Amino acid sequence: MEQIPPARRVIRLFPDYSRDYPLWENSTPTWDVGYTTTPETYGLSKELGEDLAGWQAFFEEHADPFKGWDTEANLQKWLRDGEWLAQRLQEEVEEFADVQREYGPCRDRL
């Protein structure tokens, strides 16, 4: 049976520990993409894929799941970069998907 993608896909942008990319998508009954996705899943540019990986790595380096962010400056940089990446991601997938920003509980814990 051929899988039919939903009319409009939703790419969830959020970090999680031990991940290479902060990209996720919920499967539907007719579109099984798994849950964790990669830049290749969406045909993203190499540059955007690298920047997403860097944003994920910055999160893991500076945000502790129990203590929060190491500095306010790093949190603010990560949030600014996340908005910039979300906009770029939306531009690259605008024909078939929307980007949902979910920066998580560490977004405002210091």
Greater confidence, 26 or 10? Answer: 10
Average pLDDT over residues 64-76: 93
The stretch 96-109 carries a mean pLDDT of 76
Q: How many residues belong to the chain?
A: 110
Helix (H), strand (E) counts: the chain: 3, 5
pTM of the model: 0.85
Q: Under 8 Å CB-to-CB from 53, ≥6 apart: which residues?
A: 20, 21
Q: What is the pLDDT of residue 110?
A: 45
Q: What is the mean pLDDT of residues 50-76?
A: 95
CA 17/CA 97 separation, integer angstroms: 25
Average pLDDT score over residue span 82-103: 95
Calculate helix-pair angle for 72-93, 46-62, nearest 10 degrees: 150
